[in-house]
Amino acid sequence: MELRVLRYFLMIVQEKNISKASARLHVSQPTVSRQLKELEDELGTTLFERGNRTIQLTPDGAYFANQARQILSLTDKTLANIHQEKDISGSVYVGSAEARSMLTVAQALGQLNRRHPHIQVNLVSTDASDVHQHLVSGVFDFGVVMQPIDKSDYDFIRLPGESRWGLLVQNSSPLAQQATVSLKDVANSLLILPQQGGSARIHDLFGLTQADLNVVATYNLLYNASLLVSAGVGNALGLDGIINTNQSDLTFVPLTPRTSSGSSFVWLKGQRLSAAAQALLTQVQAELAPTAN
């Protein structure tokens, strides 16, 4: 019984569909089907009940899935320990939203560089949909995504800290003189909205629908949105701590009632990480160990 076949099996368990599992594994469907059949023959039992669109684990399959997870977990841990003191090199790609909590990842990167100076980490500023697409395609190893977000495809670590929502406005705007802005102020503004999640996310966060808003532009990086605000296009709905408004023509005014978003460090479920990527994950986990729940 090969470890590779166990990984195929667990991907099928996760996806409940051999075609989807094959696509995630980047292996042809006939190959995955054949390996599954050979595994069942070797074990002398049926692991899945086949349906029209999805497949479900049999009782034997559920037991074997649990054992397979433990086997692979122990294997990966053993290999990591064997190679712990060896020099690790390679490139790791992280797609990240703009978030204060990236500081935790940055601190982990600093420690990683001191321990493994031949690992190069490449940060790409982007939004959650792009992170998901590039994780699935294998371009990114990890992502930093803002809440709320569907994490059903991910293993993840919640990062500490939250960022508060508000409006980025010109200093000359009457809103700049207020301590906070209300949802009514948001609805009455010419709005520049974040692309991530679109109107559904705005509704989840604030209870506002597309019909309530006057949207003039969207953005995926708040810096670009800040240029639109400076040009008088509208007010940008976004998170605090991203744009430094000191000695600028802009002011960030927080929203009331207070609305905040946290973020998570994510990677694909079932994804086998490179040694360099595993080293980064281990360092992020170590960075959070004192505050882990």
Q: pLDDT per residue over 81-109, tens digit each?
A: 565 556 788 899 999 988 888 889 999 99
Domains of the chain: 3-82 (1.10.10.10), 90-161+262-291 (3.40.190.10), 163-260 (3.40.190.10)
Confidence tier at 292 by pLDDT (50, 70, 90): very low
Cis peptide before 254 (omega within 30 of 0): no
pLDDT band (50, 70, 90) for residue 293: very low
Instruction: Check the CA dihedral 38-19-13-24 and report its sign.
Output: positive
- Would you place residue 208 in the very low, low, confident or very high pLDDT band (cuts 50, 70, 90)? confident
Residue 77 confidence class, pLDDT cut points 50, 70, 90: low
Is residue 171 predicted with pLDDT exceeding 80?
yes
Measure the CA–CA gap between 15 and 72, rounded to whole angstroms.
18
Tell me, what's the pLDDT at 270?
82
Structure tokens given for 280: 């980064």
Average pLDDT over residues 134-149: 87
Question: Is the C-alpha dihedral spanning 262, 268, 270, 276 positive or negative?
Answer: negative
Q: pTM score > 0.85 for this model?
A: no
**Band of residue 189 on the pLDDT scale cut at 50, 70, 90:** very high
> What integer is the mean pLDDT of 154-166?
90
249-265: per-residue pLDDT in tens? 999 999 999 988 889 99
Residue 45 — very low, low, confident or very high, per pLDDT cuts 50/70/90?
Answer: very high
Q: How many CA atoms lie within 13 A of 275 on its CB side?
A: 16
Query: Over the range 8-26, which residues count as b (16 or more CB within 10 Å of their CB) and which as e?
Result: bbbbbbbbeebeebbbbbe
For a pLDDT cut of 90, what percent of the chain falls above it? 40
Residue 182 corresponds to which tokens in the numbers above?
A: 């209300």
Residue with tokens 């940060």: 123
Kindly state the average pLDDT of the residues 57-61.
91
Higher pLDDT, 14 or 231: 231
- pLDDT for residue 99: 81
User: What pLDDT score was predicted for residue 197?
Assistant: 57
Q: Would you state the pLDDT for residue 86?
A: 63
Question: Taking residues 17-35, what's their average pLDDT?
Answer: 88
